[in-house]
Structures are given as structure tokens and as C-alpha cells.
Amino acid sequence: MSETVPSGPLYTYEHDPSAIYRQSFSTVRAEAALDRLPAAMEPVAIRLIHACGMTDIVTDLMFSDGAVQAGREALVKGAPLFTDVEMVAHGIIRSRLPAKNDVLCTLNDARVPSLAKDLGTTRSAAAVELWRDRLEGAVVAIGNAPTALFHLLETIAAGGPKPAIVLGFPVGFVGAAESKQALAENPFSLPYIALNGRRGGSAMAAAAVNALAAGLPEETAGA
């Protein structure tokens, strides 16, 4: 016995990308406590909420004064973007980068496994060593590995080059909250945006970059 095929649409849902963005950001603005943030941080918070679906993260956002401006200025000047994992790199909207900025992830570089062994650390942390030549004034987005964030801070503490801004969104149960707290308490006057606690992830790190690069889709010609 054959099944009857519906003659009309099987599901009712929004198809128009522009309408989806409008409705999404309208919901975020209605439900999130954005009024506690400086105006410059609102697009970042909205992008982050849009990436994770959790409006309550506003209360966990940590950021330094002028962080958004520092990140935007670095991108406009052509600064490279360093990411700890490929997932962050792939989430960055390349067409919105203001200077066709290089997006670099060194995790899969052939030198990393032996470097990690020599240093006695993770591959994610060892990959940070390969950023040194271009790290000064760069934008760093970490969305996965607490060890990468810790190693970056250790590198700077040892006199290494300092990026223009660090977007700290490591996720997990071992070192994630601690690494982000260390970033927030850094003594190097290092601009940062981070999420307090265990939550984070690659989608959020990429969303933070996209906010710095492009603001919100409703403020541009689409994203």
C-alpha cells in the first residue's frame, strides 16, 4: 500500500535569510540584558548569543576597555588572524574581513607533533609557538584549547610579541575557566574579550571575530 505524498509543504518555516537574521537579532535584543554592556560590545554580544542560543551569557562576558576598537583597528590595518583550531578558522566570514586578512591555524603544521613532545605540552599549545613571527599586533581567536591560551599568555610573559587583542573562548571542564580568568587578569595591558566559566567553543570564537570585522548583518549588506 503506497503512502500518500502531501501536496503542499511538509513544514512551515522561514526561508528568507534576511528575515531569519532580523527575527533572530530581534529576539536576542528582546531577551538579553544588553543594557549592561557598552554600546561597542552589543554587536559582539549579539553575535555570540546568535552562535550559541544562550541569552544569559551576557552576564558572563568579560572584556577590557577599548577591546572592540583595538580589534577593529587591527583588522583594518591588515593584521593576521590566528586561531587554535580549524573550526574557528572556517567560521570566520572571509568576505567581511576589511583587509583580506590572513586567517592562520598552525595546528596541523608538520612541525607541531615533535614540538609538542619537546615542550611537554599539547599540540594546541605547541602550535602557538609557530605564531611568533607575525603575532605582534595580530588578532587571536581561541575557541577550543585552554592550553593554547595559557601558552600564549606564558609566551607574552616571557617577553614574546603581544597581539592587538585576544578573543578567549576555550570550552570544557579542565582549564577552560581558569585560562579565561588568567586572560582577564593579565598584567600586560592585553586587550581581550572572553566568556567566564566553562562555556565557549569554536562557533563563539568565530562569531566574535565576525562581530569585530563586520558588526551585524542588519548593519551591513548582509553576512
Amino acid (one-letter) located at 193: I
β-bridge partners, 65 = none
Cβ burial of 76 (10 Å; 0-12, 13-18, 19+) is middle
CA–CA gap between residue 201 and residue 51 (Å, rounded): 10
The yes-or-no answer on residue 15 being catalytic is no
Provide the grid cell at 65: 576597555
β-bridge partners, 81 = 103, 139
Helix (H) or strand (E) holding 63: strand 61-63
- 85, 65 Cβ separation under 8 angstroms: no
Amino acid (one-letter) located at 37: L
Q: Which of 15, 50, 90, 151 is catalytic?
A: 50
Q: Give me the active site residues, please.
A: 50
